[in-house]
Amino acid sequence: MQNDLRSVSLVVIMLFLGLTLIAQPKENDPYTILGLGNLNDLNFATLNATPGLTATYHDNFRMNVQNPAASGFLIQTAFEAGGFYQYKGLKTATDSDRVSTGNLSYLGLGFPLFNTLNKLNERKPRPYNIGMTLSLTPYSRVGYDLVSTQTIPEIGDVESTFEGTGGTYKFLWGTSFRYKNVSAGLNIGYLFGKQSSEHWDYFLDLDGEFRNRFIQESRISGFIWNAGVMYEYVLPQEQEFDDKGRLLRKPRTRITMGVYGNSQNRVNTSTDFLYERRQVLGSIPTAIDTIPTEPGQQGRINLPAEVGAGLMIARDGKWRAGFDYTYQGWANYVNDLSTEQLNNSFRIAVGAEYTPNLGAYKGYAKRITYRLGGYYKTDPRNIEGIGSFSQKAITFGVGLPVKTDGSNRSISSSVNLAAEIGQYGNPDFLKETYFKLTIGFTLNDNLWFYKSKYN
């Protein structure tokens, strides 16, 4: 038990240290000036490749934090960490640019509260299981550096620059109870982060001109939740006999239906506003006037209600395929310090994975899991005078099994690679084409909460 407590403490410390590593990567995406910026999927590398079949995906060795019901199916402890690299091409009617970025993208720990080795020792069937998860993931990110120029009569050309950085994160604790083929779970979490924006106006045709500077820095924090249910129907097991009359049991086929969601989550904001005028004397801007500063303005943000549902069919140790639909009510988004209006959005995804021979002793390629999928989603943000936009992508990847020690314990650690090729945006404003590569590490162990038994 002491070893279990030390292991839990170590992982919790690693999750919090991850805050310093999951820093918002530097990027320049003009769309992040809208709303809360670009929203991140909570998917780990395995689900990034399928892609995001979160309503129904469950696994004995890997995590799914979007639908908390999934942890009820864990039979081994899973520690997961992943990072990404993204290359992006931006194109307007008159200009183009390229941006690349990368960083650590998630940390997670999931474990069953009942060890499967204990069940074997007790030789008693246990129709229930309890799973638990801890995870730290980015929720949204902001990163833009924009310049625009306009001509004002009697003043001349005015150049405006806009810079924004920051983002928000989710720390989630989830628990799930499974009885036979039904699992229900709950996530309780904390959303937190900071977003900053700075706006300069330069009067290019005036001598000794004043420059206007506007700074806004918002801190976001609050508790959030979501809940989910999964039901798995197991088809009757097929039987056949070999040439010697011995019974052969074929892998079972399973159909999983799942749903998850939440009502609106309300979080707090504290925003500092600074308005400043600077006069340029020679080449040095000097602050000479600070227009009223408004520190610590309190407000609330209504995050949208969300519901996701899906269906998946799987053959034990061989393949699985499914589809997923998610709806978010962003039309009810409210930010007390902003008048921005957003649209309701949806996402639909299909995906599959295939393992040639999971139990093969020879031929490593036979034990690799191959994944493929695609998705389409609408974005809740609006571009003034142009309208909304959407995103579409294809995904693919592999799961590479790793033998972690020389013992005979059944441990299924893996390295998971996921690639995504897609585009989003409005071609009348800005179209972005991107390639994203995610690498995730899943480390499994079956000795947590194990009670040794001696005869």
* Domain harbouring 306, CATH code: 2.40.160
User: 183 to each of 121, 130, 254, how far by Cα in Å?
Assistant: 25, 9, 15
- Does residue 452 lie within any of the structural domains? no
User: 253 to each of 19, 183, 232, 354, how far by Cα in Å?
Assistant: 41, 18, 10, 14
- Does residue 437 lie within any of the structural domains? yes
- Does residue 344 lie within any of the structural domains? yes
Dump pLDDT digits (tens) for 255-297. 999 999 999 999 999 999 888 877 766 656 565 666 667 778 8
pLDDT tens for the 455 residues of the chain, in order: 444 444 444 444 444 444 445 544 567 888 998 889 999 988 999 999 999 999 999 999 999 999 999 999 999 899 999 999 999 999 988 888 898 888 888 999 999 987 765 555 556 677 889 999 999 999 999 999 888 888 878 778 888 899 999 999 999 999 999 999 999 999 999 999 999 999 888 887 777 667 788 899 999 999 999 999 999 999 987 666 666 666 666 788 999 999 999 999 999 999 998 888 777 666 565 656 666 677 788 999 999 999 999 999 999 989 999 999 999 999 999 998 787 889 999 999 999 999 998 877 788 889 999 999 999 999 999 887 788 899 999 999 999 998 755 444 455 789 999 999 999 998 888 899 999 999 999 998 876 654 555 44
d(CA 67, CA 80): 16
- pLDDT confidence of residue 283: 59
- Does residue 453 lie within any of the structural domains? no
- Does residue 454 lie within any of the structural domains? no
What is the domain range of residue 15?
2-445
The H or E element that residue 415 is part of is strand 413-426
| Total domain count, the chain | 1
- pLDDT confidence of residue 427: 84
- Does residue 455 lie within any of the structural domains? no
- Cβ contact 85:102 at 8 Å: yes
- pLDDT confidence of residue 133: 97
- pLDDT confidence of residue 9: 43
d(CA 227, CA 97): 41
User: 323 to each of 139, 166, 185, 294, 351, how far by Cα in Å?
Assistant: 23, 33, 21, 48, 6
- Does residue 419 lie within any of the structural domains? yes
- pLDDT confidence of residue 265: 96
Q: Scan for tokens 């314990």, then name that residue.
A: 409
- pLDDT confidence of residue 94: 84
d(CA 339, CA 34): 11
Q: Give the pTM.
A: 0.85
- pLDDT confidence of residue 359: 77
- Does residue 173 lie within any of the structural domains? yes
